Amino acid sequence: MTDVDLESEQYEKHREAGRILADVRDEAAEMVEVGVSHLEVAEWAEEEIRELGGEPAFPVNISIDHEAAHATPGKDDETTFGEEMVNLDIGVHVDGWLADTAVTVDLSGNDDLAQAPADALEAAIDTVAPGVSTGEVGAAIEEQIEGHGFNPVVNLTGHGLGHWEQHTKPNIPNREIAQGATFDVGDVVAVEPFATTGGGKVNEGTDEEIFALEREGTVRNRAARQVLEQITEEFKTLPFAARWLDSPRAKMALRRLKQNDIVHGYPVLQEAQGELVSQKEHTLIVTEDGCEVTTRSR
């Protein structure tokens, strides 16, 4: 990519999303304490994003212990935090231009596991620059996590951020690979190391509270049509939570839409051996001489 104007409106909206997100992430992390409900933290963060002028790019993910991603509370969820490892993954968009960030809040006494992806992320940020391979970034992440005595989660990756697209190319591995894509000036990417006390792979569980539009389509059922209208108008192609839907028959409507391949779900991802998982994530804009982190604390 050449002749990219990093001061254009597109990049300013990415930066604004990142500024909102940094503030919300830090405050949400402060709220995570034993006895506090998952739903309270998720709904506070999502509403605060709107108050600050953005929109959630996806439902707040609250992953506990062996969970790695795609966990969000349901509408009447009363689950509270215990002495656990808590991963918060939050996204913001401004007119479809995204920022994505995550942090581990450790209530379990595993400080070093929580620190491992944070150190890996800083090493990755130091590595990202135009012409650098994603495999080199993966090597930097892997070295840091293994240096702490843990394994990177190898079947989860960082990713590009597009317009109304949460996951685009390039994929950014959490381990060294021989052939990766190279970064260009203007790329907007989310780098997200995951560390685990387990073997380093995640599997899909059965719980599903997050969904996204798969394709345009029509359904005969009235409730499903109403839900589909809300999805296409409010969320477009971005992920949404079942609890965001206005319909009193939302779960039934989602089942119908899934059966017609109009909507797909995101099952909760879990460490295959049931071991602990930690995470840290920032959004970066690739610049002429390195990268700019849009989601740093201010």
Does the annotation list 192 as a binding residue? yes
233 is catalytic: no
Catalytic status, residue 275: no
Given strand 85-94, what is the order of strands in its sheet?
55-64, 85-94, 97-106
Q: Which of 89, 208, 209, 271 is catalytic?
A: 89
70 annotated ligand-binding residue = yes
Among candidate residues 148, 163, 167, 264, the one labeled active-site is 167
How large is the angle between the packed helices 38-51 and 9-31, nearest 10 degrees? 150
Catalytic residue among 16, 192, 209, 292: 192
Decide if 292 is catalytic.
Answer: no
167 is in an annotated binding site: yes
Q: Say whether 78 counts as a known binding-site residue.
A: no
* Dist CA 14 CA 37 (whole Å): 30
The answer to whether the annotation marks 159 as part of a ligand binding site is yes
Residue 108 backbone dihedrals phi, psi, to 5 degrees: -105, -5
**Residue 76: active-site member:** no
Write the DSSP string, 150-195: -EE-TT--EEEEETTEEEEEEEE-SS--SS--B--TT-EEEE--EE
According to DSSP, residue 232 is labeled I
Q: Is residue 282 a known part of a binding site?
A: no
Compute the distance between CA of residue 34 and CA of residue 42 in angstroms, rounded to an integer.
15
89 flagged as catalytic: yes
66 labeled binding residue: no
Token pair 């402060």 is found at 30
At a CB cut-off of 8 Å and minimum separation 6, what does 121 contact?
A: 141, 191, 192, 193, 280, 281, 282
Q: Would you put residue 261 in left (φ > 0), alpha (ψ -120 to 50) or beta?
A: left
> Which among 274, 250, 265, 277 has a CA at the least distance from the CA of 207?
265
Using an 8 Å Cβ cutoff, are 209 and 242 in contact? yes
**Residue 131 class from Cβ within 10 Å (0-12 exposed, 13-18 middle, 19+ buried)?**
exposed
Please confirm, yes or no, whether 204 is among the known catalytic residues: no
Active-site position among 159, 208, 271, 282: 159
Nearest residue to 194 (alpha-carbon basis) of 165, 172, 210, 177: 172
Q: Which residues have a catalytic role annotated?
A: 89, 100, 159, 167, 192, 281
Residues making up the annotated binding site for a divalent metal cation are 89, 100, 159, 192, 281
State the binding site. Answer: 70, 89, 100, 159, 167, 192, 281
**Binding site for substrate, residues?**
70, 167
